[in-house]
Amino acid sequence: MFIVNVEGAVRENDRWLIIVKSKKEEHAGGLLSLVGVKVKEGLASSDVLEKALKREILEEAGVYVNDKLTYVHNISFITDKRL
C-alpha cells in the first residue's frame, strides 16, 4: 500500500498562500504549512494529483487554482508507523 501526499505552493504576484495547520494534526500541528492532501485509493486518472490538490486548496483556503501548474519535486520515505 502506498500513501500519496501532495502539497501545493500557491503564488500570486509576490504573495504566497501559507496556512496554519490545526493543532489537532498529528504531524506539525499548529505550524505554518503549504496546503496538502492525501490522495485516496480508488481515484484513477492521469491528473489525479492535480485534481486532489486543487480541490483541497479550494476547500481549505477558498482559493481557486487555474490550470497553470508546475511540478517541482517529489520525495519518498519508508516508515515503521502503521497508518
Identify whether 80 is part of a domain: no
Identify whether 68 is part of a domain: no
Residue 82 pLDDT more than 70? no
**What is the torsion angle, in degrees rounded to the nearest 10, for the CA atoms of residue 3, residue 11, residue 21 and residue 8?**
0
Range in 4-13, 22-31, 35-44, 58-67 with the lowest mean pLDDT: 35-44
Q: Which three cell numbers stand for residue 83?
A: 497508518
Residues in the chain: 83
Structural domain total, the chain: 1
Identify whether 56 is part of a domain: yes
pTM for the model: 0.76
HSE toward the beta carbon, residue 18, CA cutoff 13 A: 7
Residue 43 pLDDT more than 70? no
Single out the residue of 38, 75, 73, 76 nearest to residue 56, CA to CA: 38
Residue 58 pLDDT more than 90? yes
Identify whether 17 is part of a domain: yes
- Using DSSP's 3-state secondary structure scheme, residue 26 falls into coil
